[in-house]
């Protein structure tokens, strides 16, 4: 099995800090930039030189590489197509569809997925045909009021992960919330913690004055929290956190500027589709 680490990345500094904690794997790391929230999974599937994709967000920090390798071996041995953290099912702040795994971390068995995958399969997928069976088979407890199994469009990648759940075995990993109240600590199949995901990476890339202006309640605090989690992850691994040079910082700034130049037109181009979805959703809500 040829294994690669993939990351959909916007901030080169954050990506570098995350990837330095992946060096122990000895696997090729691939940075995917300027890709949509679901499109980068299809990019992975087109890479026929990869059999197993370990998808690690740039704000996800590996604290136990051995536990990740155990998880990868388990996914291969047991024939799972996907291992990850459910996007809902409890009182956590995500509260999406429990059948979907949030893509901050996944082990994706691309070789297995390719046996059924095609773009037409995804486009023609009818979730309602599988919903009841998937709900009955869902292995984790679902808290009252968190059974959002009807949620099919919270994120662009929902269709892909619902299709995966309908066609292949999925390993749903357990987690706990960090003492900071936001960061997710994820466990492998042996209940061993192996990574910390901070969330809110978009605030890390924004200029501080913008974060303070548009996220008045807690936005600026998120940047400090992410830095604290990064320091903690490096301490757990007993690896010195890198001290970036002036040239490094210049490179990070140039890359971030380029990412923004590309991202803004992409976002504007998607506004019509978002508006259409909003109108459709509003029409489907019965009047009271």
The span from the CA of 199 to the CA of 207, in Å, is 17
Residue 262 lies in a domain: no
Are 13 and 250 a contacting pair, CB within 8 Å?
no
Q: Which residues pair with 186 in a beta bridge?
A: 175, 195
Q: Is 119 domain-assigned?
A: yes
Is 86 within the bounds of a domain?
A: yes
127 occurs within a structural domain? yes
Asked if residue 113 belongs to a domain, the reply is yes
The torsion region of residue 89 among left (phi > 0), alpha (psi -120 to 50) and beta comes to: left
Strand arrangement of the beta sheet that strand 52-56 belongs to: 28-33, 3-9, 52-56, 101-109, 82-86, 170-173
For the entire predicted model, the pTM comes to 0.90
Q: Provide the token pair at 192.
A: 């061993």
Mean pLDDT of the chain: 91
Judge whether 265 lies within some domain: no
**Sign of the dihedral defined by the CA atoms of residues 268, 274, 278, 279, in that order:** positive
The tokens describing 162, both together, are: 């619902």
| Mean pLDDT, 10 residues at a time, the chain of 288 residues | 96 96 96 93 96 98 98 98 96 90 98 97 96 96 93 94 98 96 96 96 78 64 90 98 95 91 82 69 53
**Which residues share a beta bridge with 83?**
107, 171
pLDDT at residue 268, rounded to an integer: 82
Residue 144, in any domain of the structure: yes
- Number of domains within the chain: 1
Q: What is the pLDDT of residue 284?
A: 54
Q: What is the pLDDT of residue 166?
A: 98
Q: From CA 183, how far away is CA 93, in angstroms rounded?
A: 11
Angle at CA 33, nearest 5°, toward 29 and 34? Answer: 160
DSSP alpha helix (H) spans, 158-218: 158-167, 201-205, 208-214
* Containing structural domain, residue 125: 3-246
- Please give the Cα distance from 258 to 46 (Å, whole number): 25
- pLDDT for res 70: 98
* Lookup result for tokens 């007993």: 238
Structure-derived torsion over alpha carbons of residues 213, 216, 219, 220, reported in degrees to the nearest 10: 70
Give the residue ranges of DSSP H helices in 79-183.
Answer: 110-113, 119-123, 131-137, 158-167
pLDDT of residue 52: 98
First to last CA, the chain: 56
What kind and span of H or E run contains 275? helix 246-284
The per-residue pLDDT for 207 is 73
The C-alpha angle with vertex 228 and arms to 222 and 233, in degrees rounded to 5, equals 125
* 279 in any annotated domain: no
């Amino acid at each position: 099995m040829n294994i690669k680490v993939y990351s959909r990345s916007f901030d080169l500094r954050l990506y570098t800090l995350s990837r330095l904690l992946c060096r122990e794997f000895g696997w090729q790391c691939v940075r995917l930039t300027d890709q949509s929230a679901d499109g980068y999974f299809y990019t992975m599937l087109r890479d026929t030189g990869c059999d197993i994709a370990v998808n690690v967000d740039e704000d996800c920090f590996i604290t136990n590489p051995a536990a990740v390798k155990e998880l990868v071996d388990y996914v291969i041995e047991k024939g799972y197509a996907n291992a990850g953290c459910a996007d809902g099912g409890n009182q956590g702040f995500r509260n999406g569809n429990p059948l979907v795994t949030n893509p901050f971390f996944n082990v994706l068995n691309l070789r297995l997925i390719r046996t059924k995958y095609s773009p037409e399969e995804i486009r023609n997928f009818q979730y309602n045909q599988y919903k009841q069976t998937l709900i009955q088979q869902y292995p984790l407890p679902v808290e009252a009021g968190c059974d959002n199994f009807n949620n099919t469009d919270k994120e662009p990648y929902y269709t892909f992960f619902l299709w995966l759940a309908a066609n292949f075995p999925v390993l749903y990993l357990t987690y706990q919330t960090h003492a900071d109240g936001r960061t997710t600590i994820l466990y492998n199949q042996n209940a061993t913690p192996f990574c910390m995901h901070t969330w809110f990476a978009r605030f890390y890339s924004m200029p501080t004055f913008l974060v303070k202006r548009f996220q008045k309640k807690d936005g600026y605090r998120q940047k400090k929290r992410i830095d604290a989690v990064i320091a903690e992850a490096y301490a757990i691994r007993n690896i010195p956190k890198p001290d970036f040079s002036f040239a490094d910082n210049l490179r990070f700034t140039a890359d971030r500027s380029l990412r923004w130049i590309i991202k803004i037109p992409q976002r504007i181009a998607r506004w019509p589709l978002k508006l259409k979805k909003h109108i459709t959703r509003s029409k489907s809500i019965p009047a009271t």
